[in-house]
């Protein structure tokens, strides 16, 4: 289903680009990236054979076209097999956890983006259709900026107000629509002044059928307050899973995330406060906050990205996690920046103590993570950025620390 949809949209985009070729401005670009990494003891137990040591390459080719009232983009890359599929460990659908037969490892190249955006003549409405990069608010409930998603986006800008409707295929299952995830979103963003914006978003997420539906209400506020760049987001969830009439489950999750940075040249201080609800003891409802996130790191380099979080999965944001993060980035020169981030992590709801020998012992301890960064700009078009992470697990996670180092050499053209 998804592959057919993308092919049709790509054909439309190509026909559109070719039809306006004489009047359009067409540009090409891309990048070549080489990644080397070494992760050790990701299962938080020495000798568990959970190491990852590899070197991979990724190629991206972008074609952009602009004409009066319209634009289009094609972005071709090989991340579907040589780079990204290794993180999927299949390919596996990240929402339904089922093997996705629509993504073949042998097919290295695919479209990350393939969309057409048109301003409707006579009215302040823009329509964008195709495979595109999306996020809701600050991206802690829904973000799809790695592989992209098939979507229609209809936007109206009137003065300081922007109203948006999104119809997106959030996840494609392995069989038919019964294991797809579709989301319908209404967003309204209002520009309060030149430095601040507030908004609300209402999402209706359908997991395969209307019998399993989640609604997410989100509020956000982003502003520059003096030297502080602040981003705040809060989400509340409701809805019900009625697929099994004898075991109905209501969605009751919630989340709040506040991030910011303070520029004090040559140092930039950053902070993060995040809290996501978790499963409650003896509850039949879905009390943990449910997310629709991509496979990129969302706040830490190891926890949640490479180490399954306290909910037992990857790429789930702040599921049953309360995090406090603080860090700094120092511009050592015009071409080199060095930074350090520290995250203190606890579970929102208590979990089983994996270290204690006492029967039934529980804890809130997830652990502490320290991430060091070095960003090196060799030339205007060449960067070589490194991240080094150390995760010291708490009693709720495991016994032994995990480490990871990753370097990405990138040439952009």
Write out the DSSP string of 246-259. TS-EEB--EEEEEE
What residues in the chain have per-residue pLDDT under 50? 1-5, 7-8, 11, 19, 86, 88-107
Please report the DSSP string for 13-66 in residue order.
HHHHHHHTTTTSEEEEEEEEEEEEEEEE-TTSSTTSS--EEEEEEEEEEEEEEE
Look-up of token digits 């060095």:
338
What are the helix and strand counts (H, E) for the chain? 2, 19
Strand 228-241, strand 212-225: pairing: antiparallel
Q: Which residues contact 63 (CB under 8 A, 6 or more apart)?
A: 17, 26, 27, 28, 73, 74, 75
Quote the DSSP letter at residue 2: H
This prediction's pTM: 0.88
- 17 CB contacts (<8 Å, ≥6 apart)? 24, 26, 63, 65, 72, 74
The answer to whether 395 and 357 are in contact (CB under 8 A) is no
Tens of pLDDT, residues 207-224: 987 789 999 999 999 999
Are 229 and 291 a contacting pair, CB within 8 Å? no
Q: Quote the pLDDT of residue 99.
A: 40
- Chain centre to alpha carbon of residue 313: 14
> Who's near 226: CB < 8 A, 6+ residues apart?
none
Phi, psi of 188 (to 5 degrees): -135, 120
Q: Say whether 95 sits in a helix, a strand or coil.
A: coil
pLDDT (0 to 100) of residue 360: 87
In eight-state DSSP terms, residue 9 is H
- Kindly state the tokens that stand for 184: 């319908």
Per-residue pLDDT at 340: 98
Tokens at 321, concatenated? 């996690």
Q: What is the pLDDT, as a whole number, of residue 13?
A: 53
- The CATH number for 2-319, chosen from 3.40.1710, 3.30.70, 2.60.420, 2.40.160, is 2.40.160
- Residues 6 or more apart whose CB falls under 8 angstroms from that of 246 comprise none
DSSP E strands, 265-307: 267-276
Burial 124-139 (b: 16+ CB within 10 A, else e): eebebbbbbbbebbbb
Pairwise CA distance, residues 36 & 411, whole Å: 15
Task: List the domain boundaries for the chain.
Answer: 2-319
Sign of CA dihedral 366, 372, 377, 378: negative
Question: How far is it, in rounded angstroms, from Cα 54 to Cα 50?
Answer: 13
Give CA–CA dist 173/138, Å, rounded: 26
75 and 112 Cβ atoms separated by less than 8 Å? yes
Q: Please confirm whether the linkage preceding 266 is cis (ω < 30° from 0).
A: yes
Is residue 228 within 8 Å of residue 262, measured between CB atoms?
yes
CA triple 355-356-357, angle to 5 deg? 120
CA–CA distances in Å: residue 177 to residues 46, 143, 253: 42, 21, 25
- Give dist(CA 138, CA 232) in Å, integer: 8
pLDDT of residue 17: 52
- Reading the block at residue 405, the tokens are 């180092």
């Amino acid at each position: 289903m998804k592959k057919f949809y993308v092919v049709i949209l790509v054909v439309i985009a190509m026909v559109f680009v070719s039809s306006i070729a004489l009047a359009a401005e067409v540009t090409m670009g891309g990048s070549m990236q080489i990644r080397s990494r070494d992760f050790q003891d990701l299962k938080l137990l020495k000798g568990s054979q959970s190491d990852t040591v590899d070197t991979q390459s990724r190629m991206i080719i972008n074609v952009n076209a602009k004409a009066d009232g319209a634009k289009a983009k094609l972005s071709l890359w090989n991340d579907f097999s040589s780079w990204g599929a290794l993180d999927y460990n299949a390919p596996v659908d990240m929402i339904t956890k089922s093997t996705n037969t629509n993504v073949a490892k042998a097919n290295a190249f695919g479209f990350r983006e393939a969309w057409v955006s048109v301003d409707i003549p006579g009215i302040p409405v823009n329509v964008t259709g195709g495979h595109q990069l999306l996020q809701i608010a600050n991206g802690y409930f829904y973000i799809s900026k790695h592989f992209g998603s098939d979507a229609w986006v209809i936007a109206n800008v009137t003065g300081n107000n922007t109203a948006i409707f999104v119809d997106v295929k959030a996840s494609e299952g392995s069989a038919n629509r019964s294991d797809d995830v579709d989301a319908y979103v209404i967003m309204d963003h209002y520009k309060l002044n030149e430095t601040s914006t507030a908004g609300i978003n209402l999402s209706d997420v359908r997991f395969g059928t209307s019998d399993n539906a989640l609604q997410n209400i989100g509020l956000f506020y982003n502003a520059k307050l003096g030297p502080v760049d602040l981003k705040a987001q809060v989400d509340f969830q409701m809805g019900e899973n009625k697929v099994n009439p004898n075991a109905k489950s209501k969605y009751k999750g919630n989340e709040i995330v506040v991030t910011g940075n303070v520029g004090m040249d040559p140092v930039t201080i950053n902070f993060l406060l995040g809290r996501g609800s978790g499963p409650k003891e003896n509850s039949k409802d879905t009390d943990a906050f449910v997310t629709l996130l991509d496979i990129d790191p969302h706040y830490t380099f190891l926890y949640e990205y490479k180490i399954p979080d306290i909910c037992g999965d990857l790429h789930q944001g702040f599921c049953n996690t309360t995090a406090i993060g603080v860090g700094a980035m120092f511009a050592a020169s015009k071409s080199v920046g060095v930074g350090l981030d520290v995250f203190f992590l606890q579970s929102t709801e208590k979990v089983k103590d994996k270290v204690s020998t006492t029967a039934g012992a529980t804890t809130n301890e997830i652990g502490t993570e320290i991430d060091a960064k070095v960003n090196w700009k060799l030339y205007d078009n060449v960067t070589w950025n490194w991240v080094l992470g150390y995760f010291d697990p708490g009693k709720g996670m495991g016994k032994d620390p995990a480490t990871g180092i990753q370097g990405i050499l990138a040439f952009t053209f």
